[in-house]
Chains A and B, each alone.
Chain A
């Protein structure tokens, strides 16, 4: 909050419009009229609100991880093997391993408060830990799957002005770390209550790619404990990033 008011003070010195709009708030700025405005060095922490809507029919999303990071960081890449931290999210919905692995210089992470049910949403606030953290990654697991996750990766938010937002549709990815058997005991969500993370890499190919969708017993996979309600299409999440 302190930084927020500091920003207001700096901006009002430059902008007549801002003074008009914010005039009632600037009385607390002790030096706004008597000193030359401090140059905006770009080092002020920038905050975002990230809203995540679960657009699926019956796939709760595990607590969402929101990460601001520098341009050199990438959480996943099509055709490359998933990291163990990504595997924890995709198979078990656990993002703490990812959070713990991040270097604070490069990335700042915040977790959602809990799973987001179908039709539900959550808004998560995050403040970038460094001015170089101009990219945002957001993801969570579709918990009634073996290793599906949905999210957006390395979205460049450096051009967002204060108050501006962008809205993105998130597709569903297959982490490639677990075979999509849909069988009893293999999925952590309420449809199964089975296993989450397992270090074995058992998919047909150990690479991240787009998910082909769950099949379900209703649509021809006899060993599946999923039913038609668990099927999904792209997008699974609608994610809106607003710069504060």
Chain B
């Protein structure tokens, strides 16, 4: 996270300094997250408005330990501590978000007008270390409704074995579970070994199989596959 923060500061500040200086203002924000997938659930999402001194993840860079904990098990406390360290304004959903469902969260940056970047992350279940991600999108100063479509990312920290073992702790193989209760069990072998790309990258998708009591994967290939985008974030600036 710290390295990530510094890199982001260097890479983003130069490009966007002109706009940052113009859109600093206190804002009431409503953030609606919609799960667009056919059959995956999202763990409770973390939604943050923050400044340019940090961010939650960088595509092409190694995941922080706290991002890994979110991506492999849905744990948010580490990322929340990171956000507190940069005086971000953040909140999180109270329950998993099922396929097709939406949740609306609010942020108020009255006391932190420099928090003009919006980030959203949540783990996708059942996956090994897949997550939805919005990385430091500009929060427009003008009142209005703005829509972002999110891709699925692979944290690059765990083999995509697609075996539901309950393993959600960082570094522990396997998938914690399937809130949608559509997954199988008893698969052997596992679909995929270690990621070729150990940095955060666009997820190559789940494989699954058509044998819910065995096979190579506990995922159902007619239910748990997805195509991007996997989530829609609707930001209302009031």
Q: Inside 8 A of B222's CB, which chain A residues have their CB?
A: 179-182, 212, 215, 221
Select A78's contact among B100, B208, B225, B226, beta carbons within 8 Å: B100
A171-B227, A212-B223, A219-B221 known; 5 other A-B pairs, CB under 8 Å? A182-B222, A204-B39, A209-B37, A210-B230, A212-B39
B213 sits at the interface (CB 8 A): no
Residues in B with CB closer than 8 Å to A174 are 38
1/0 contact string of B85-124 vs chain A (CB within 8 Å):
0000000000000011110000000000000000000000
Q: What count of chain B residues pass the 8 Å CB interface test?
A: 26
CA separation between A229 and B99, bound complex, in Å? 27
Q: Taking A79-B101, A79-B102, A213-B227 as contacts, is the C-beta distance between A220 and B209 under 8 angstroms? A: yes
* In the assembled complex, A191 has its CB within 8 A of some CB on chain B: no
Give the shortest distance, in Å, between B161 (CB) and chain A (any CB): 16
Given contacts A181-B222, A220-B209, contact A171 B229 (CB under 8 A): yes
Q: Interface 1/0s, chain B 206-238, versus A by CB < 8 A?
A: 011110000000000111111111101000000
A233-B226 Cα distance, complex, nearest whole Å: 10
A-B contacts, 9 listed (Cβ < 8 Å): A180-B222, A181-B222, A209-B37, A209-B100, A212-B222, A212-B223, A215-B208, A220-B210, A234-B228
Q: Given A172-B227, A220-B209 in contact, is the A212-B37 Cβ separation under 8 Å?
A: yes
Per the bound structure, the CA–CA distance linking A215 and B221 in Å amounts to 7
Complex CA–CA separation, A212 to B188 (angstroms):
24
Nearest-CB distance from A233 to chain B (Å)? 6
Chain B, residue nearest A173 (CB): B36
Q: B66 an interface residue at 8 Å Cβ cutoff?
A: no
Please, which residues of chain A bring their CB within 8 A of the CB of B182? 204
- Given known A208-B100, A215-B221, contact A234–B227 (CB-CB < 8 A): yes
Query: B64: CB under 8 A from chain A?
Result: no
B135 to chain A, nearest CB (A): 20
What are the residues of chain B within 8 A of A167 when measuring CB–CB?
Answer: none
Distance of A31 from chain B, by nearest CB (Å): 43
Q: Is A222 an interface residue (CB 8 A)?
A: yes
The CA of A223 and the CA of B210, in the complex, are separated in Å by: 9
Interface residue range, chain A: 20 to 34
Do B210 and A210 have beta carbons less than 8 Å apart?
Answer: no
The answer to whether B227 and A209 touch across the interface, beta carbons within 8 angstroms, is no
Among B182, B221, B222, find the residue whose CB has the most chain A CB atoms closer than 10 A.
B222
Is B207 a contact partner of A212 (Cβ separation < 8 A)?
no
Q: Is B68 an interface residue (CB 8 A)?
A: no
B128 at the interface (CB under 8 A from A): no
**A212 B227 Cβ-Cβ under 8 A:** yes
Say whether A69 faces chain B, with CB atoms less than 8 Å apart: no
Across the interface, which residues of B come within 8 angstroms of A221, CB to CB? 210, 221-222
B99: chain A residues at CB < 8 Å are 205, 207, 209
A211 interface hit (Cβ, 8 Å): yes
Chain B residues near A209 (CB-CB < 8 A): 35-38, 99-100
> Among A171, A172, A205, A220, which residue has its beta carbon within 8 angstroms of that of B39?
A205
Q: How far is the CB of B166 from chain A (nearest CB, A)?
A: 23
Decide: A210 and B227 in contact? CB cutoff 8 A. yes
Task: List residues of chain B with CB within 8 A of the CB of A205.
Answer: 39, 99-100
Min CB gap A223→B, angstroms: 7
CB atoms of A212 and B38 under 8 A apart = yes
Chain A neighbourhood of B102, CB < 8 A: 78-79
Complex Cα distance, B223 from A182, in Å, reads 12
Q: How far apart are B107's CB and chain A's nearest CB, in angstroms?
A: 23
Question: Given the complex of chains A and B, what is the CA–CA distance between A208 and B37 in angstroms?
Answer: 10
Q: In the complex, which residues of chain A have a beta carbon less than 8 angstroms from the beta carbon of B36?
A: 78, 209-210
Residues of B within 8 A of A176 (CB): 100
Of B34, B101, B221, B224, the contact of A220 (CB 8 Å cutoff): B221
User: Which 3 A-B residue pairs are closest in the complex by CB-CB distance?
Assistant: A79-B100, A212-B225, A212-B38
* Nearest chain A CB to B80 CB, angstrom units: 28
Q: Compute how far the CA of A165 lies from the CA of B74 in the bound complex, rounded to whole angstroms.
A: 43
Q: CA–CA, A181 to B223, complex, Å?
A: 10
